[in-house]
Structure formats: C-alpha cells, structure tokens
Amino acid sequence: MYVIGLDIGTTCTKALVVDDRGQVAAAGSSGYELFSRGGCVEQRAEDWILASVKAVREAVKRIPAHEVAGLSVSAQGGSTVAVDDRGKFIGNSITWMDTRAQKEADEIEEELGGEYIYHTSGWKINPALDAAKIRYMKRDRAYKGADMYLTTLEVVNRFLTGEPVIDPTNAAMRQLYNVEKNDWDEKLMKAAGVTREELPIVRPTGMKIGELQREAACKMGIREGIPVFNGAHDQYCASIGAGAVHEGDMLLSAGTTWVLMGIGEKPLFTKSYIAPGKHPVEGLYGAMASLVCSGASLQWFKNEFLPEDFGRMNEEAAARREKAKDLFFYPYLTGAFYPNWNVKAKGILTGFTLEHDRFDFARAIMEGVSFGVKRAVKDFSDNGCGIRRITMMGGASKSFLWCQMIASVTGIPILRLNRTDICALGAAMIAACRLGVYKDYHEAAEHMVHVGHRFEPIPEETEFYEEKYGRFLKMWENVRKYYEQ
C-alpha cells in the first residue's frame, strides 16, 4: 500500500509516494511560472492542477500505481483566484507575495483597528492577504463576475474530489478567519466586501473530503475512488514532515526568507506580531514568524562579491570567528520586519577595517542572521512558547558551519533532516495516519522522519556569541532611533 503527499509550492509541485513502512518509494515534480511587474506577482491557477498531474504521473511510474490507497495536499497559503459561477478561473491568481492592495490594507486597518485584525486572524494587517486583496478585487472590473474566491488548497481539492474545501491552517492565512473560534469572521468579511457564500467550506486537516474523481484519476494514472484527505498550509505540513509535533519543537525553514514555526500549547499573540494558529496535532498550536531577507542576504553577497562556491566560502568563513569578532551585519536589505517592523530600515555591515576580506564579511552575514534566530527564540520563550530543539530545513541547512553556529548562538540543539521535500512528506503522513497506518503524527514521525545530523551547542562558542549578541542588540538600539525619525 502507498500514500501520496502532494506539495503545491510557489514555483514547483512535488509528489512523494510513501509505502506502509514509512519509506519514500518514488517522487515526481513539475514547475511553473510567476508573473511579476512592480508589486504585482501572479500565477496561473491552472498550472497548480497541470503540475499536480505531471508530478503524480512521474512518481507513480516507479510503483504499482493501483496500490495507491490515498492522498493529501500541502499548499502554499494566501494565493487567491476568482472563480465564476461555472467554476472557471477569472484571470490569474494573486499570490501571497503581491502588494498591490496596500491602499485597501490601510483602509481596513483604519476601519477595524490593527489590534482587532491581529487578535482575530492571527496576522498583522498585510496587503498580500485576502482581507485587503479581495477588497481590491471587488473594486477591479477585471474580476467582475466572481462567484467565489479560492486559494491553492481549494483549487486542488476541487480538481481531485469536486469539493473546494479549505482547512483551518490555510483559512488563517486569508486574514478573514477567526483562529480561536474556527470560523470565518463577520467583521473581517464585511471589511473585505465578501460573503460567507463566496468563501469555501472549512474542514479539519485530515478529514476525508471525498473520493478521487474519474477525470483526476485518469490524468494522474492512479485508481478512481481512493480517499482524499484534507491537507494543510505548507509550513504546517512541513512541521509534521519534520517531526516537529511536540510542545517545545521549532521548525526553521531556511530559504530566501527564514520562517520559524514554534509549537506550543496555547495561541501566541505578541507585541511583535507572531502569527498563531491551531496545529493539526490535537491540543497544540503553531506560531509563525518570518525573518525576511535572511537567506537572500548571503545569496546577494555571494552573487555580487564572492566568486567562490558555497563550499569554499564555508571553509574560509569557518576560520574567521576571531577576526570577524567586531563585524556586525543587520539583514534589513528590504526593510526591517519581524520583530522590529520598520520598513525604512536598511541593511548594515559595520566594524570592518583594511584587514577584513570577503570571507570575514560572509561570516558576519551568517552571524547576523543567526542573531535574528536567537532574538526570535527569546521572543517565543518570553511569550510562553519555550523552545527545546530546532529542526532546520532549506538551502542554508546544507551549511555545516551555519547549522553549528545557530546551535551555539541559541544554545539549542539543531536537527538537520536527510530529506528536503518535507512539505510533501507531511502531507503523506496526514494520509497515512487517516488510513490507520499510524495511530497519530507522533508515531508517524518515529517511522517516517529521519535526522541526518544533530548539532549540539558548543559551550565555548555559546559564551563567545552571548557577549557579541549583547553588542549586536545595543548597536541596533542606537541605529533604530535614526530610522524612526
């Protein structure tokens, strides 16, 4: 018996086939385009379906396809498409990176107040989320005739089963949902100008939403009628796929932007606007925060100033701790967001002299980003979500130096997995649990999640970084006043 986890990401869809022993048997993938102009970032919703078909067909070539017993979907959140009364898409989807609705976001914040929006939806007002985006779409004649507004999960669920169903983790990303009451919020809907009938039905993660339709089955090359289980937002699926399913776990997705998800026993509403939501694991909550431009800072520096490959850079930077001890980097190349929230802020590299070189700078960038993780972990802990271990995924997790640095900076063990496609793995775990292969996500993690390396804090390094981190914070406090003028 096999299950399929399908991950509909921002630029690519991945399909992962897992057997009933928890072993990955096959995988497939298919990419698609983003269309960008200024603050507008769009995507064809049709491509999510086409890519799902291609990815599954590729994957099931390597197994007896008739033995696939169920599937579930991990989806990017906050990418929205208008649909007419015949179910046809009206234009492209407006993705979670799109900022065209800033005016509408400002209007909603003035009408409802930022604190109501945050404490209801779990998210700071944001032009990329649906409260603002749908208000914009309602005003734009290009979306005239819209009957419903669907995001990625519902579009794919509708293709698979005929039912455009969403789950609570993706509903929360729309900024129209009351995360504690588990229902669409009347005030947020009214501000967006949308009705309950124009939004999808919310069903729990893991619930069977239907059976695979004939058309989808034929196109994908698997059996018609197998159960399709409601999935989750990709970061929540990633937490399941990483085994971050216990109170005190944290998932660190270290890509272009670094996304932190802490797991706790209560919703985390904070002055720094950490985004809380109910976790698919019963009784637990997720709490998300994004360290914007963290991975992008090092990639930018390498592209512009460092012709050597990442392997050479890591090797050289590893030997530069003492030489770079007075170098400080603040990764605010696109402004300071969580936890500082100052869009006027700029990236800063300070403390260098004629003796420093590009490898010293590379290390300073890695340290500056690591200090951002430490500050976030303290923020989570100060607000009641103490972190005992961090599981790290994404491009930066390939760097032994960076993983060890974060462990020593934070004083918390870092686990690096031996797979990269953990969003799809998390979706597969949802299907496996609902089919009874495992009794719950904890048991599934024991069989399906494999740690490649564990990085323990090195006491001497932790002591060094504690002193440097103090100077990092003090220097920022002085600079912050300048940007607040």
d(CA 237, CA 230): 11
Q: What is the pLDDT of residue 354?
A: 97
* Residues paired with 328 in a beta bridge: 350
d(CA 19, CA 125): 42
With residue 330 as reference, give the H or E element that holds it: strand 328-330
- Cβ-contact 102, 159 below 8 angstroms: no
| Alpha helix (H) residue ranges in 41-173 | 45-60, 102-112, 114-121, 130-139, 152-161, 168-172
Q: What is the pLDDT of residue 419?
A: 85
Backbone φ and ψ for 13, nearest 5 degrees, come out as -110, 135
Q: What is the pLDDT of residue 38?
A: 86
d(CA 476, CA 32): 40
Hey, how many other C-beta atoms are within 10 angstroms of the C-beta on 67? 15
d(CA 22, CA 444): 8
* Residues paired with 233 in a beta bridge: 75
Q: What is the pLDDT of residues 226-255, one digit of tens each?
A: 999 999 999 999 999 999 999 999 999 998
d(CA 226, CA 434): 12
Residues with Cβ within 8 Å of residue 357, at least 6 apart in sequence = none
pLDDT tens, the chain, 485 aa long:
999 999 999 999 999 999 999 999 999 999 999 999 988 999 999 999 999 999 999 999 999 999 999 999 999 999 999 999 999 999 999 999 999 999 999 999 999 999 999 999 999 999 999 999 999 999 999 999 999 999 999 999 999 999 999 999 999 999 999 999 999 999 999 999 999 999 999 999 999 999 999 999 999 999 999 999 999 999 999 999 999 999 999 999 998 899 999 999 999 999 999 999 999 999 999 999 999 999 999 999 999 999 999 999 999 999 999 999 999 999 999 999 999 999 889 999 999 999 999 999 999 999 999 999 999 999 999 999 999 999 999 889 999 999 999 999 999 999 998 888 999 999 999 999 999 999 999 999 999 999 999 999 999 999 999 999 999 999 998 888 787 76
Q: What is the pLDDT of residue 420?
A: 84
Q: What is the pLDDT of residue 482?
A: 81
List of domains in the chain: 2-236 (3.30.420.40), 243-418+450-485 (3.30.420.40)
- Choose among 73, 427, 410: nearest CA to 260: 410
Q: What is the pLDDT of residues 115-130, one digit of tens each?
A: 999 999 999 999 999 9
* pTM (2 d.p.): 0.94
d(CA 192, CA 212): 33
d(CA 6, CA 73): 5
d(CA 84, CA 280): 31
| Alpha helix (H) residue ranges in 383-399 | none
d(CA 363, CA 409): 13
Alpha carbon distances (Å) from 456 to 225, 330, 405? 47, 25, 10
Backbone φ and ψ for 400, nearest 5 degrees, come out as -60, -40
Residues with Cβ within 8 Å of residue 285, at least 6 apart in sequence = 263, 264, 265, 266, 267, 268, 276, 277, 278, 279
- Choose among 62, 84, 92: nearest CA to 145: 84
* Helix/strand number for the chain, H first, E second: 16, 24
Q: Does 339 sit behind a cis peptide bond, omega within 30 degrees of 0 on the bond before it? A: yes
For 237, the token pair is 């699926």
| Alpha helix (H) residue ranges in 149-233 | 152-161, 168-172, 186-192, 214-220
d(CA 219, CA 57): 8
d(CA 260, CA 250): 7
